[in-house]
Amino acid sequence: MVRFGLTVVRHGETRYNKDKILQGQGIDEPLSPTGFRQADAAGLFLSNVKFTHVFSSDLLRAKQTAATIIGKNKFCKGLEIKCDTRLRERKYGVAEGRPLTDLKAMAKAAGQQCPTFTPAGGETLDEVRERARDFFEFLCQLAADVGQIREKKDQEMHGATNRSSGMYEEESVFPWTDHCEFSSDNDGTSKLLLDANILVVSHGAYMRNWVGYFVSDLKCTLPANLTKTQLSSVSPNTGVSHFIIKLENRSVLKPEIICVCLNQDSHLVDVGAECVASKMF
């Protein structure tokens, strides 16, 4: 079995976020001062997590957030951040650069609900989900390849498969560890056994569609206390979600996904009132 951790973080605030103006893909705003404080807070929150891979949308607000998080990390400061266009925000076409109220008005005029409405030149939800599906399958294959390499090294070193010694170990530093499988060192320290531990920095509407794909298509297991409103809401800026993915026999076709936390924002308590989670639609 291959097992990997997936931590997904929304980028920090931009001035367009604050003013409720749609950015999509065509508006490439940097982080605001609040956005950088949020990214710092997320970086400190994740500073003890030993990531093996980092991916970011190629849009500036996501890249700055990813760089800030890795810059705060105790173990990953030299880790390369790989940008991927599949992680871009949903394209909103003619609505980009316009207030969210304009998008709502367009949807109403078309007799549709705002979250599912596609403005002229924009992406449909199915198109966004296809991007998310393609990228996730890429991550599964990456983890499967890493697991195969480690298993081969284990066999060469020990003459027999010993998964525990070959797998990546992450110190138990975050609530997600309550939901995973561990080994214990002689000193009693709990270790989470992972073949890879991946950080992804992306965007609010994209992430909501990605979670929807996990839940509806892949039957992701959700936390027992998660409400429908929380599931349908857009993450706050630098909200953190964490998943454990298991691939039986290294097969990427039927991943088992456990959502450990969704849109975690406890690290934002002292950052400012702007950080309070809100629904976009």
Q: Is 11 a catalytic residue?
A: yes
The DSSP-derived string for 214-229 is HHHTT--B--TT--HH
Q: Domains, the chain, ranges and CATH? A: 2-157+171-180+191-275 (3.40.50.1240)
Predicted confidence (pLDDT) per residue in 130-139, tens digit: 999 999 999 9
Residue 208 CA to residue 130 CA, distance in Å, equals 13
Give the residue numbers of the binding site for substrate. 10-17, 61, 89-92
Predicted confidence (pLDDT) per residue in 203-227, tens digit: 999 999 999 999 999 999 999 989 8
90-99, 100-109, 176-185, 259-268: least confidently modelled range: 176-185
Share above pLDDT 90 across residues of the chain, in percent, rounded to a whole number: 70
Q: Is 89 a catalytic residue?
A: yes
Give the pair of three-digit tokens for residue 37. Answer: 């404080």
Most confident stretch, 124-128, 172-176, 231-235: 124-128
Residue 172 confidence (pLDDT) above 70 = no
Q: Is residue 153 classed as helix, strand or coil in its secondary structure?
A: helix
pLDDT bucket at 152, cuts 50 / 70 / 90: confident
13-22, 113-122, 147-156, 191-200: least confidently modelled range: 147-156
Full strand arrangement of the beta sheet holding 190-194: 168-171, 190-194, 182-184
Residue 22 CA to residue 25 CA, distance in Å, equals 9
Residue 249 confidence (pLDDT) above 90 = no
C-alpha torsion angle, residues 220, 223, 224, 225 (rounded to 10): -140
Which one of 89, 123, 151, 169 is the catalytic residue? 89
Q: What value does the mean pLDDT of the chain take?
A: 87
CB 173 within 8 A of CB 197: no
Per-residue model confidence (pLDDT) at position 176: 52
Q: What separation in angstroms does the CA of 209 have from each of 64, 96, 125, 140, 232?
A: 22, 18, 7, 18, 9
Give the burial string for 103-114 (b: 16+ CB within 10 Å, else e).
Answer: beebbeeeeeee
Residue 6 confidence (pLDDT) above 80 = yes
Residue 177: count of CB within 10 angstroms of its CB: 18
3-state percent breakdown (helix, strand, coil) of the chain, nearest 5: 40, 20, 35
Residue 89 confidence (pLDDT) above 90 = yes
Share above pLDDT 70 across residues of the chain, in percent, rounded to a whole number: 83
Top pLDDT among 163 and 195 is at 195
pLDDT bucket at 270, cuts 50 / 70 / 90: confident
